[in-house]
């Protein structure tokens, strides 16, 4: 299988082994969605047999966030989450490896989408909040078609994935900016000119990029970038999520309003509200969230959560 070429200024030259692995990624990107989701079901089920690794992290996160739930519920959601995680990872290869039109065509159902379509018309710009829930990457082409957003891009430490993802992102009707001060200035300029930007709000930020704020009742280190941008621009804010439909029938995009306190001039109140908005989405279906991520590795009171 041939591998598309890319701009050498953007991605490094790959050695023979890396080129082979990149070809494997392209191979999976050419498999049917049903095949990939079926494979993800099998891999996730197998992963659930092993209590360590990702399964342990998922269980730890679920017990922190849902202490009222039974052990049976924790085990069930852990298994479901491992399956969703495997399916999402394989689906990533599909949306990154195929033309944007393919992913756009897979968006079969929409709920409250008028919230998004109205928000992107705001003369003060629109900030689209996209948590790590469902398959956030698969809807990127559709969102880009509607709004030509500015998206932050952090090069992967893995040159194979970086090449693969860079080529995919470069095909979108979107502008890529770095995850640094220059990128933040680009997003601020975009919003002030009435444009659209997308941010994922639920990572653990660096030491200078966060404050402690409640998330599932736990004071956790939370990003302030989204709240700062909202305060400086008074832009419209909307949250989007994308989940797969049963029987490989495509995907559903849901638009949600955020907690109105996200517009507060008090940074703490704004970040609290953003965390509440993400939490509310997760509670809709906890199995869809990226629980393999160590979200609670920096807490105000809890220490060494993952040891």
First to last CA, the chain: 43
- Determine, yes or no, domain membership for 59: yes
Mean pLDDT of 259-265: 98
- Determine, yes or no, domain membership for 180: yes
pLDDT score for 187: 98
Which phi and psi (to 5°) does residue 273 adopt?
A: -65, -40
Residues 50-109 have pLDDT tens digits of 999 999 999 999 999 999 999 999 999 999 999 999 999 999 999 999 999 999 999 999
Q: What's the mean per-residue pLDDT of the chain?
A: 93
| DSSP code per residue over 17-32 | HHHHHHHHHHHHHTS-
- Determine, yes or no, domain membership for 194: yes
Structural domain of 188: 16-288
- Determine, yes or no, domain membership for 110: yes
pLDDT score for 50: 95
With 60 as the cut, is the pLDDT of residue 14 above it?
A: yes
- Determine, yes or no, domain membership for 134: yes
The domain total for the chain is 1
Token pair of 37, please? 């989701």
- Determine, yes or no, domain membership for 125: yes
pLDDT score for 2: 37
pLDDT score for 160: 80
Q: Is the C-alpha dihedral spanning 286, 244, 131, 42 positive or negative?
A: positive
pLDDT score for 3: 39
- Determine, yes or no, domain membership for 269: yes
Looking at the chain, the whole-number percentage of residues with pLDDT higher than 70 is: 95
Q: Between these two residues, 305 and 20, which has the higher pLDDT value?
A: 305
- Determine, yes or no, domain membership for 102: yes
pLDDT score for 21: 82
Q: How far apart are CA 150 and CA 145, in angstroms?
A: 12
pLDDT score for 35: 98
Please state whether the predicted TM-score (pTM) of the whole model is above 0.75.
yes
């Amino acid at each position: 299988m041939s591998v598309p070429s890319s701009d050498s200024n953007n991605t490094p030259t790959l050695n023979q082994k890396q080129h082979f692995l990149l070809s494997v990624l392209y191979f999976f990107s050419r498999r049917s969605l049903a095949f990939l989701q079926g494979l993800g079901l099998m891999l996730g089920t197998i992963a659930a047999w092993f209590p360590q690794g990702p399964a342990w992290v998922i269980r730890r996160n679920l017990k922190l966030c849902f202490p009222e739930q039974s052990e049976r519920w924790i085990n069930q959601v852990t298994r479901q989450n491992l399956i969703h995680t495997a399916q999402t990872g394989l689906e990533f290869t599909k949306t990154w490896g195929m033309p944007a039109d393919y992913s756009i065509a897979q968006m079969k159902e929409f709920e409250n989408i008028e919230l998004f379509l109205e928000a992107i018309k705001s003369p003060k710009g629109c900030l689209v909040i996209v948590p790590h829930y469902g398959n956030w990457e698969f809807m990127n082409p559709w969102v880009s078609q509607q709004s030509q957003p500015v998206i932050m891009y952090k090069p992967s430490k893995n040159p194979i994935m970086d090449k693969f993802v860079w080529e995919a992102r470069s095909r979108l009707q979107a502008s890529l900016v770095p995850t640094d001060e220059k990128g933040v200035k680009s997003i601020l300029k975009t919003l002030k000119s009435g444009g659209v930007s997308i941010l994922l709000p639920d990572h653990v930020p660096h030491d200078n990029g966060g404050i402690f704020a409640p998330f599932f009742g736990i004071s956790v280190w939370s990003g302030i970038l989204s709240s700062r941008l909202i305060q400086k621009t008074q832009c419209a804010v909307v949250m989007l999520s994308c989940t797969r439909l049963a029987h490989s029938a495509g995907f559903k995009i849901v638009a949600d309003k955020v907690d109105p306190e996200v517009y507060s001039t008090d940074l703490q109140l704004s970040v609290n509200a953003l965390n509440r908005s993400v939490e509310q989405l997760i509670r809709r279906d906890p199995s869809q969230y990226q629980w393999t991520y160590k979200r609670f590795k920096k807490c105000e009171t809890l220490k060494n959560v993952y040891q």
